[in-house]
Amino acid sequence: MTLTLTSAAVGKVQDFIEEHAGDESAGLRVAVLPGGCSGFQYGLNVEDKPEDDDDIWDQQGVRIFVDPFSAQYLDGVEIDYVTSMMGAGFTFRNPNSSGGCGCGSSFAV
């Protein structure tokens, strides 16, 4: 499985980890959850440590935790952090998505 964080996303995640966790075992949980307008939605959360069945990656110094259910939907996904006149936040580019909605955080496969 390939999951990519852009440099901007890595920087923002590192800020959150330092602010909220600070522990070297902490990382970013990337999850796919049932729900949202199109069937699935993304979830991001800073967590102190991985779960026993998580896949764990290191990307530019950020530990990434992904559970087995979410992994099947995240292959090839790129996570970016963008700032515009409309605000700032994480965006997801998912080549496996067959559709989505205007909110930008919900998708269908």
**Residue extents of the structural domains in the chain:** 3-108
- Whether domain 3-108 has CATH 3.40.1160.10: no
pLDDT tens, residue order, the chain (109 aa): 899 999 999 999 999 998 886 678 899 999 998 876 667 888 999 999 999 999 999 999 999 999 999 999 899 999 999 998 988 999 888 887 765 555 555 555 5
Strand partners, 33: 41
pLDDT of residue 88: 92
pLDDT of residue 62: 95
SS3 category, 14? helix
pTM of the model: 0.84
In total, the chain counts a number of residues equal to 109
